[in-house]
Chain A
Amino acid sequence: MKILKLIIRNSARHKLRSLLTVVGIAIAVLAFCILRTVVTAWYAGVDASAPDRLVTRHAVSFIFPLPYSYKEKIASIDGVETVSFANWFQGVYKDKNNFFARLAIDEETLFTVYPEYLISKEEKEAFLADRRGCIIGSGIAKEYNIKIGDKMPIEGDIYPGNWDFTVRGIYRPRDKTTDATQMFFQWTYLNETMEKNSPLRANSVGWYLVKIKDPARSAEISNKIDNLFANSKAETKSETEGAFQQGFISASGAIITAMNYLSFIIIGIIMLVLGNTMIMTARERTREYAVFRTLGFSAFHVAGLIFGESMIISGFGGALGLLLSFPIIKGIEEGMPKGFFPTFNLEPVTVILAISAALLIGVLASIFPTQRAVKTKIVDGFRFVG
C-alpha cells in the first residue's frame, strides 16, 4: 500500500530523531517490564496462597513463638480440617548468600496442608523414617546440584549448632506460582534437640497453618481461634494465608508500591517524549499537509499519516524493548540469590501490559498533532512559517 510506504518513509526522514525516540521507548518499555516483573514476583507469594488456609501467629509479631499445646485446641474448633505448624529455622547453608527458606515443619501434616508440593510416596516415607531427613524444592536441587541421599549441613543461627540433614526427597511445584525453593525438615528433630540443649525453647511453634473445610468461613474461624487464646500469655492473630503474605510483604511493601507506580510513570514520561517528537514533526510538515488536502485528501487522511508514524515509532520501540527484556530479565534472575523470589519470569500479563503500553504511547502521542492538523485550514497551512 502506497500510504503505508509513505508513512514508513516519513518515519525515516529524520533518522537520528526517530532512532533516539525508538531507543527511548525501548528503554522505557524495558524498564517497565523489569519493574513489573519484580512487582509480580513479589506478589506471587500472595497469589500462591490458598483461600482455605489460615495462618495463626502470635498477636504481637510472628517472630514470637506460640505454645505447641495450641495444636489440639485449634483442631477441636468446628470447621477445622487439619492443623499444621512450622518454625522459621533459617541458618546458613555453605554461604550467607544462599538465601532460601529453611523451615522445621510438622512432618505428619505438611503434605496434607500443602497439596501443591508434589512428592512421590517412596520419598515421603523415606523422609518420615529419617529424623534427620529433609525435603527440598526442585528449584534448590537444581540450583545447588543436590541429589537424594546427599548430606546438607546447615550452620544454625536462630537455633545454634551444626545441623546435619540428609536429603530424602525433592518436591516439585504443582503451579507456576508454587514456591519450589524451600527446605523442610522434621519439627520433631528440632524439638528433641531443643529439649536437650535449651529446654525453655522446646515445645514452641512459629506459626500454625490451619486448613479449613469451607473458605467462606475463614473470618468466622479466625475469630474463634483468636477468642480461644484471648487473655492468655500468647494471644494469637489468625488470618487467611493471603492476608498473612500481604502483611509480610507490606513490611517492605513501600518499595514495591513505589516500583508499581514508577513502572507506569515511566510510560507516562516516554509518552510525553514521543508526543513532543510528533508535535515537532507535524509542525514541520504543516505545508505538506496543506498540499495533501489541496490535492483532495481529507483532514483524516492527514491525521492518519501522523497517527501511523506515531504508531510505527512506538511499535518499533515497544518491540525492541520487549525483545531486550527477555534476556535481561533472565540475566537478572540468574544473578539473583536463588529463592529470593519464588518465581521471577516475564509473565504473559507483563508482556500484554508492555504491548498495550507501547500502543497507548503511540495513540496518545498523536492526539495533539492530529488534532492540530485536522483543525488547520488549508490556506493557513500554506501561510504557516515554522
Chain B
Amino acid sequence: MSNSIISLVNVSKSYKRDSFNVPVLNHLSFDVESGEFLALMGPSGSGKTTLLNLIAGIDRPSSGKIEINGVDIATLSESSLAKWRANNVGFVFQFYNLLPVLTAFENVELPLLLTKLSKADRKQRVEFALSVVGLADRMSHYPKQLSGGQEQRVAIARAIVTDPTIIVADEPTGDLDKNSAVEILTLLERLNKEMKKTIIMVTHDPNAAKIAGITKHLDKGDLV
C-alpha cells in the first residue's frame, strides 16, 4: 500500500497571455510520500513556482487532479480552499514576506488568528515555534531589526505554527548568504526528520538539493 500524501494525476497548467494560451506545465503525474523531502529544480521559467503553487492550493490546475490527504483540492470552493490552506500548508518564500508593521511574535501569530485558539494557547504555540527556529529572544523585534537569515527563520516559525502536514518553500535560501542558507537548510532538515513534515522545496542550489531525499527536475513544464 502506498503511503502517498500528495498525488498528481495528469496535471496541466497554462496561462492566458493576450489571446493565446501559454502552456506552463504539461500532463504531470507523480506522488509524494508522507514525510518526504522533495527538491524541485530546473531552469528559470520551467514552471517550478507554478507547480508549487498548485500543490499548495493558491492556484488551480487547468486540467488534471491534485489529491492531498485524499482531498481533491481542485474541487474546493475559494473559501474552503483558504481554510484548507490554513490547516494543511505552511509557506516559506524567497523574500520572507513578513509584515513590516508586526513584530516577530505577531507575524508568527498571524495564521493562528484564524483559529479558535485562546490568547494563552496562541502565545504558547508562537513561543514554541520561535524557539524551534532559535529566535525565542527576538520575539518583540520588527522584521527590519532582523537579519535576512533571522527573517527567514521567523517565516519558517510562521509556517509551522499551525502544525501543517506539508511545508512548501520557494527558493528559501535564494536571497541569503552562504552561512544563513546553511542554517535555514539545516532547520528544514530538522523539521523533516524530527517533526516528520512533508517538505517540497524549489531551489537552484545543488547543495540545497542534497539534503532533500528526492530531487525532481523540471524543464519547460515537463519532468525530466
Residues of A within 8 A of B111 (CB): 295-296
Contact of B114 among A9, A13, A297, A299 (CB under 8 A): A297
* Inter-subunit contact A2/B109 (CB<8 Å): yes
Pairs A-B, 7 closest by C-beta atoms: A296-B86, A9-B101, A378-B58, A291-B97, A295-B111, A379-B59, A296-B82
B46 to chain A, nearest CB (A): 16
Contact of A294 among B50, B91, B100, B109 (CB under 8 A): B91
* Inter-subunit contact A294/B85 (CB<8 Å): yes
- Restricting to B56-107, which residues have a CB under 8 Å from any CB of A? 56, 58-59, 78-79, 82-83, 85-87, 91, 93, 97, 99-102, 106
* Inter-subunit contact B82/A6 (CB<8 Å): no
* Inter-subunit contact A291/B99 (CB<8 Å): yes
Contacts from A to B (Cβ < 8 Å): 2-3, 6, 9-10, 13, 287-288, 291, 293-299, 377-379, 382
* Inter-subunit contact A6/B59 (CB<8 Å): no
* Inter-subunit contact A13/B101 (CB<8 Å): yes
* Inter-subunit contact A377/B59 (CB<8 Å): yes
Residues of B within 8 A of A379 (CB): 50, 53, 58-59
Decide if B6 is an interface residue (CB 8 Å cutoff).
Answer: no
**29 A-B residue pairs with CB within 8 Å:** A2-B106, A2-B109, A2-B113, A3-B113, A6-B99, A13-B100, A287-B97, A288-B97, A291-B93, A291-B97, A293-B58, A294-B56, A294-B58, A295-B85, A295-B86, A295-B110, A295-B114, A296-B82, A296-B87, A296-B114, A297-B82, A297-B114, A298-B79, A298-B82, A299-B78, A378-B53, A379-B53, A379-B58, A382-B93
> How far, in angstroms, from A60 to B78 measured CA to CA in the complex?
74
A383 to chain B, nearest CB (A): 9
> How far, in angstroms, from A297 to B113 measured CA to CA in the complex?
9
B68 to chain A, nearest CB (A): 15
B113 to chain A, nearest CB (A): 6
| Chief secondary structure at chain A's binding surface | helix
> How far, in angstroms, from A295 to B50 measured CA to CA in the complex?
17
> How far, in angstroms, from A382 to B59 measured CA to CA in the complex?
12
| Chief secondary structure at chain B's binding surface | helix
* Inter-subunit contact A378/B101 (CB<8 Å): no
* Inter-subunit contact A6/B102 (CB<8 Å): yes
A94 to chain B, nearest CB (A): 63
Interface size class, chain B: 20 to 34
Given contacts A378-B58, A378-B59, contact A293 B97 (CB under 8 A): no
> How far, in angstroms, from A382 to B79 measured CA to CA in the complex?
19
Residues of B within 8 A of A377 (CB): 59
Given contacts A295-B110, A377-B59, contact A6 B83 (CB under 8 A): no
Contact of B101 among A6, A294, A382 (CB under 8 A): A6
B150 to chain A, nearest CB (A): 18
Residues of A within 8 A of B59 (CB): 377-379
* Inter-subunit contact B101/A296 (CB<8 Å): no
Nearest residue (CB) in B for A291 is B97
B154 to chain A, nearest CB (A): 13
- Restricting to B158-210, which residues have a CB under 8 Å from any CB of A? 158
Residues of A within 8 A of B58 (CB): 293-294, 378-379
* Inter-subunit contact A10/B85 (CB<8 Å): no
> How far, in angstroms, from A96 to B166 measured CA to CA in the complex?
87
Nearest residue (CB) in B for A377 is B59
Residues of B within 8 A of A287 (CB): 97
A117 to chain B, nearest CB (A): 62
Residues of B within 8 A of A299 (CB): 78
A4 to chain B, nearest CB (A): 12
- Restricting to B11-30, which residues have a CB under 8 Å from any CB of A? none
> How far, in angstroms, from A290 to B155 measured CA to CA in the complex?
15
Residues of B within 8 A of A6 (CB): 99, 101-102
> How far, in angstroms, from A299 to B81 measured CA to CA in the complex?
12
Residues of B within 8 A of A295 (CB): 85-86, 91, 110-111, 114, 158
> How far, in angstroms, from A379 to B111 measured CA to CA in the complex?
19
> How far, in angstroms, from A298 to B113 measured CA to CA in the complex?
12
> How far, in angstroms, from A288 to B96 measured CA to CA in the complex?
11
> How far, in angstroms, from A240 to B58 measured CA to CA in the complex?
71
* Inter-subunit contact B82/A288 (CB<8 Å): no
Residues of B within 8 A of A382 (CB): 93
> How far, in angstroms, from A382 to B58 measured CA to CA in the complex?
11
> How far, in angstroms, from A286 to B196 measured CA to CA in the complex?
33
Contacts A3-B113, A9-B102, A287-B97 known; 5 new A-B pairs at CB < 8 A? A6-B101, A6-B102, A288-B99, A291-B99, A378-B53
Most buried by A among B58, B78, B86, B114: B58
Residues of B within 8 A of A3 (CB): 113
* Inter-subunit contact A293/B99 (CB<8 Å): no
> How far, in angstroms, from A174 to B113 measured CA to CA in the complex?
59
> How far, in angstroms, from A298 to B110 measured CA to CA in the complex?
13
Nearest residue (CB) in A for B158 is A295
> How far, in angstroms, from A2 to B122 measured CA to CA in the complex?
12
Residues of A within 8 A of B106 (CB): 2
Most buried by A among B53, B56, B106, B110: B110
* Inter-subunit contact B99/A296 (CB<8 Å): no
Given contacts A3-B113, A291-B99, A378-B58, contact A296 B83 (CB under 8 A): yes
B85 to chain A, nearest CB (A): 5
> How far, in angstroms, from A2 to B113 measured CA to CA in the complex?
8
Residues of B within 8 A of A2 (CB): 106, 109, 113
B21 to chain A, nearest CB (A): 16
A10 to chain B, nearest CB (A): 6
Nearest residue (CB) in A for B79 is A298
